[in-house]
Amino acid sequence: MTAARRLLAKVSAYNLNHSLPRANRNISQIPFGHGGKYTTAHNSIARRQSSTATNNDTSSSTTPPPLSSSPQSPGSIDSYVSGPTTHFGYESVSINEKEGRVKKVFENVADSYDVMNDFMSGGLHRYWKDELLRMTGVEPMSKAFRRRASLNYAKKEGVDGSDDKSLLSILDVAGGTGDVAFRFVDAANCEERAKSSGKDEISVTVCDINPEMLRVGESRARTKYGSALLDDTSALTFVEGNAQYLPFDDESFDLYTIAFGLRNVTDVDMALRDALRVLKPGGRFCCLEFSHVTNAPLAQLYDTYSFNVIPKLGEMVANDRDSYQYLVESIRKFCTQEELVSRMEGAGFEDVKYTNMTGGIVAVHEGWKPL
């Protein structure tokens, strides 16, 4: 194991043992008081060896395979797509039609997407994303890597024998407007690093199927950080791609995140398998997604708000009621917490667990690619 990997293993172990929530722990109180042109990046987050409890209750190619060919998931969970039709909200559509219709939804809402997130969640989405950032441990790992890189530079040594590979490579899928990626960029202090010359040791890649969302994200990035971060150090890049067959080589990333995007994918099983493919051995998958409320009174209140208020807000703010009606319905059609655990395990992830937030309105699912 190289010195850099040993260092990362120590940082990862500390973060996972001291700051990450235990398996399937309900942390519903956290959100209320807790605080282009595009490139890809290539060393691996050392997988934890701690005894944290897990949830046991329950050749690369960019050519898209047939969606209906997904293998049967293990156990009693059926394949996410097993016939010629699937769901688009509460509507049944052909599997070939769904992708285009979802794409149209996000084309319609791209410019108002982040504003609508504030309206729909009362600002809670910011806390949920902040918690996702904390759970990934990107900030302490980035500090450790930068210290190591500085020492190696002072000694005029290469880092891990190569200067053209990122020490920490992060992929944020379905993150077109950059809301999650910007948190990684800030936590890793990439803006300060961009004042120096040369390629950044840490890279964040945003991948989204929708060019309109990417357009908004890249514009926001250039306004927020300037162009050096994107053009000179390549710390942040935007790539158009489909989560079901990502345009990246095998074993390219240390961390894969997807926030509020997995439920919009036509074949969730296929997306999970491709997430595993692009992760390096020992790499980590984290999914922040709307889920299923665990408290009956809260569930009733949440449903009332979702179906009676959110579509109206979409009409008022974005002049688009139908898109937000779909988004509300898509949440109800998505996997339960336990079902998503089973699908992740079926895709090949290990040590899979989830953490509920705000009573299960959202959940973070995480798993590791085997070493």
* 170-228 per-position pLDDT tens digit: 999 999 899 999 999 999 999 998 888 788 989 999 999 999 999 999 999 999 999 99
**Residues 285/256, Cβ–Cβ less than 8 Å:** yes
Rounded to two decimals, the pTM is 0.78
**260 near 289, Cβ under 8 Å?**
yes
Q: How far apart are CA 234 and CA 206, in angstroms?
A: 12
User: Average pLDDT of 305-333?
Assistant: 86
3-class DSSP state of 235: coil
C-alpha span between 340 and 4 (Å, rounded)? 33
Pairing assessment for the beta strands 202-208 and 168-173 based on DSSP bridges:
parallel
What is the rounded radius of gyration, in angstroms, for the C-alpha atoms of the chain? Answer: 20
The torsion angles phi and psi of 291, rounded to 5 degrees, stand at -135, -145
Q: Locate 127 and state its tokens.
A: 């806390």
Average pLDDT, the chain: 78
pLDDT at residue 18 tops 70: no
| Consecutive H or E run containing 143 | helix 138-154
Say whether pLDDT at 68 is over 90: no
Q: Does the structure show a pLDDT above 60 at 20?
A: no
**What confidence tens digit (pLDDT) does each residue in 252-285 have?**
999 999 999 999 999 999 999 999 999 999 999 9
Task: Categorize the per-residue pLDDT at 89 as very low, low, confident or very high, splitting at 50, 70 and 90.
Answer: low
pLDDT tens digits along 114-146? 777 787 788 899 999 999 999 999 999 999 988
Distance CA 122, CA 42 (A): 37
What is the distance between the alpha carbons of residues 21 and 27, in angstroms, rounded to a whole number?
Answer: 8
Question: How much is the pLDDT for 76?
Answer: 56
Determine what percent of the chain falls in helix, strand and coil, rounding each to the nearest 5: 45, 15, 35
pLDDT band at 236 (very low <50, low <70, confident <90, very high): very high
Reply yes or no on whether the pLDDT at 36 is more than 70: no
Nearest to 268 by CA among 85, 75, 80: 80
* pLDDT one-digit tens code per residue, 142-179: 999 888 877 765 555 544 434 556 789 999 999 989 99
E strand segments, 209-302: 236-240, 253-259, 279-290
